[in-house]
Structure 1
Amino acid sequence: MDFVKRLYERFSSLVHELAKFGSIGAVAFLIDFGLLNLCNVVLGFGPLTSKVVATTISTTFAYIGNRFWTFRDRDQSGLGREYFLFFLLNGIALLFGMLTIGFTTYTLDRHDALSVNIANIVGVGLGTLFRYWSYKKWVFLEATEPIPMELPETGVKQDR
């Protein structure tokens, strides 16, 4: 039992971070999935255009959720810098989805919604692995100074 406790203490912050990242990712996936189908099936945009629209909107949600919840304890190197890198890396991750959807639609000649959705799920899965690694490495950086657990002594006496 002591081993499990030590293991949990060692990896608890990673487990919590992954849980938050997964929660944001799940909601972003639902946004992506819903918009992909709305744009492709209902509005008739085509699978690749629909994927770009869906990913752009779901990525905006994911940035806000990851910046202000998942990685809130990490240094903020400037919202402009983070937002730019976040979208750049999501553009690279979008290629996974575009390749799987494009391959399914144009190489395998599968144009039905089920095939596009399966290709989307595979692409999102591959892109998620890339995104988690790249966010931690380049976007939401580790704090350079330890975050204080308590307020510092100011030397100012307060009247009671």
Structure 2
Amino acid sequence: MKKLIEQILKFGVVGIIAFFIDWGILNLLVGLFHMHNVVAATISFTISLIFNYCASMKYVFKHRPDMARWMEVVIFVISAVIGLLMNDFIVWLSTYGMNRDAYVSQHIEYLIRTNVGKLIATAIVMVWNFIIRKWLLDDTHTPLMMQFRRAGAELTEEEIELKWEESFSHKLGMWSIEHTPKGWH
């Protein structure tokens, strides 16, 4: 449990930095350049995503030895695209119903509503990202085995190993290793 809390805190720090990158670029594009909020949100989200991937895979999640790096990138990109769609929909919804002509005359309201939508989107996408990355990208097998050895649990070591081998994330990881082109290891 302590390790999970530590990991959530690291994820939070990386997320806060990524949020400020995302939020700063969003406000620069909408506030200064009067860009449409969904276009600006897509650009800012994408830029912060690059930072988030690098920092998350270095400081938050441990590489899984049973998964090829290319699969890590694919999972990260697919989950990011889903997160981007959720983000853009919520940001779009935040200004839905505003008169198109009001974008210019009520620019401050447009910017405020965009920012409220961005805050809501960030909270929802953050939860999505942590769950999907923890499930599919993090090496949970090694800590599970160490925890088992320390605690003297109800399950035998063989039962824990069997559960791990039957898990979707392990099967996906093994598939990715088996389907990695030669020379990419």
TM-score (norm 2): 0.66
Tell me how far 1:101 sits from its aligned partner. Answer: 1.3
Which structure has the higher relative contact order (CA within 8 Å, separation 6+)?
A: 2
Distance across 2 between alignment mates of 1:82 and 1:73: 9
Q: Does 1:30 align with 2:9?
A: no
3-state SS, counterpart of residue 95 of structure 2: helix
Q: Which amino acid aligns with 1:102?
A: W
3-state SS, counterpart of residue 96 of structure 2: helix
Q: 1:54 matched to which residue of 2?
A: 44
**1:120 aligned residue (118, 121, 126):** 118
Distance across 2 between alignment mates of 1:62 and 1:120: 17
CA 1:45 to 1:141, structure 2 compared with 1: closer, same or farther past 3 Å?
Answer: farther
Q: Which moved more, 1:61-70 or 1:104-113?
A: 104-113
1:4-153 correspondence to structure 2 within 5 Å: 11-72=1-62, 74-75=64-65, 77-107=67-97, 111=103, 112-143=110-141
Identity %: 22
CA 1:108 to 1:140, structure 2 compared with 1: closer, same or farther past 3 Å?
Answer: farther
TM-score (norm 1): 0.76
Distance across 1 between alignment mates of 2:129 and 2:16: 14
Unaligned runs of 5+ in 1: 1-10, 148-160
Instruction: Provide Cα deviations, 1:18-71, integer angstroms capped at 9, x if missing partner.
Output: 110000000000001001111222223210011111111111111111101111
Instruction: Provide Cα deviations, 1:80-123, integer angstroms capped at 9, x if missing partner.
Output: 22122112101111222212211121235585211100100001
Tell me how far 1:143 sits from its aligned partner. Answer: 4.1
